[in-house]
Amino acid sequence: MKILRIDSSAQTEAGQSRHLADRIIDRLTDAGKPFDVTVRDLNNPLPQLDHAWINANSTPEEDRTDQQKDVLALSDTLIAEIDAADMLIIGAPVYNFSIPASLKLWIDLICRARRSFAYSDTGPKGLLSGKTAIVCFASGGTDFGSDIDFASGYLRHILGFVGITDVTFVAANRHFMDDTAITRAEGEVDAWVDQLGLPKDDRLRPATKAGVN
């Protein structure tokens, strides 16, 4: 099993979305299924889209210059990471009622016509299907799924837009105000891993942990 882990919390140690992602990895390890992990930590900042990127992306692939190919190289890499994965673990803290800017930059770079989605007579079709995603939602005060939560609905939509429709959220919900929120979220992680039905008789550590800048 190949896992792509996306971390977007600005907190590298105390972030609750990172804590939940760590717990998922630990529980999968305990379950005994070997897996490779690619880590994309968005604290290593991604570039914003600019005119050169838009122009390169709008140019037919066969007509792109070497410079345009270089401009799109990072986007190609990010999409390839998703394409190679069986499972995505996405850390999504709520900043000002929505996702962090770093995660939005990642989304902007992976949503590309003809690469991650295609237009058809019936509307857009995602091209990155056949994957599972679990989103580690962490909010200090924004209630998950509420009218002021502009993070979870957007993430579910954008993942579906590129073809990933098997999406689960585990939520450390309003943890600044609720001392039990983290414990409940940990329980959601444990229940989700248990539902995967992974074997428990071959206690293997992860095969690989590959950090990516």
pLDDT digits (tens, 9 = 90+) for 55-66: 999 999 999 999
Closest CA to 158 of 104, 211, 121: 104
Contact, 170 vs 182, CB < 8 A?
Answer: no
pLDDT of residue 198: 58
Mean pLDDT value of segment 27-47: 91
CA-based radius of gyration for the chain: 18
71 vs 181, residue with greater confidence: 71
Give CA–CA dist 37/26, Å, rounded: 12
Q: Which of 26-35, 127-136, 139-148 has the highest mean pLDDT?
A: 127-136
User: pLDDT-based confidence at 33, cuts 50/70/90?
Assistant: confident
Q: What does the DSSP 8-state code read for residue 146? A: S
Closest CA to 198 of 81, 50, 115, 86: 86
pLDDT of residue 202: 38
pLDDT reading at 87 higher than 90: yes
Mean pLDDT value of segment 150-172: 97
Mean pLDDT value of segment 151-158: 98
pLDDT of residue 204: 33
**Model-level pTM?**
0.89
Comparing 125-139, 148-162, 171-185, the range with the smallest average pLDDT is 171-185
pLDDT reading at 161 higher than 70: yes
Give CA–CA dist 118/125, Å, rounded: 5
User: pLDDT-based confidence at 144, cuts 50/70/90?
Assistant: very high
Mean pLDDT value of segment 37-61: 96
Cα–Cα distances in Å, from 57 out to 52, 67, 75?
Answer: 9, 12, 10
pLDDT reading at 207 higher than 60: no
pLDDT of residue 106: 98
Cα–Cα distances in Å, from 62 out to 39, 66, 69, 100, 113?
Answer: 31, 11, 10, 35, 15
